[in-house]
Amino acid sequence: MKKVREKRKDIVFYIKLFPLPMHKDAYWKAKSIICNKSINMLEANFEGKPIPKTDCDSREIDENLKLVGTLNISSTPTLIMPDGRVHEGTLAADKLIEMIDGRK
């Protein structure tokens, strides 16, 4: 995503965290990131760095889990393009830009 944003400032990503049950501690980590509204915590977690456990009353992660269930999404990352196309898995920045632009 960072490489895409470096190349194209007009592309915006909306991130919905949905922790998969197979990943230990993913639920509380996702909730901590949401509670703190912290992109820095998200990036630290992606880099394998520890993040603090934060408790709050947010239901956002539970709502995200319900949403992905209704959309039959079961893997991360899953990308949903502006035209509704879905891609499971990662893509190189140039390929992702092509897909966003509707060229693939």
pLDDT tens column, 67-104 = 999 999 988 899 998 888 899 999 999 999 999 998 76
What is the pLDDT at residue 43?
A: 94
Pair 36, 54: CB distance under 8 Å: yes
**Domain interval for residue 89:** 2-100
CATH number of the domain encompassing residue 64: 3.40.30.10
**What is the token pair recorded at 58?**
């947010």
What is the pLDDT at residue 57?
A: 87
**Residue 15 Ramachandran class (φ > 0 left, ψ -120 to 50 alpha, else beta):** beta
Pair 30, 37: CB distance under 8 Å: no
> Tens of pLDDT along 7-52?
999 999 999 999 988 889 999 999 999 999 999 999 999 999 999 9
- pTM value surpassing 0.85: no
What is the pLDDT at residue 19?
A: 92
Pair 43, 77: CB distance under 8 Å: no
What is the pLDDT at residue 82?
A: 84
What is the pLDDT at residue 60?
A: 94
Q: How many structural domains does the chain have?
A: 1
CA-only gyration radius of the chain, Å: 15
What is the pLDDT at residue 47?
A: 94
What is the pLDDT at residue 8?
A: 96
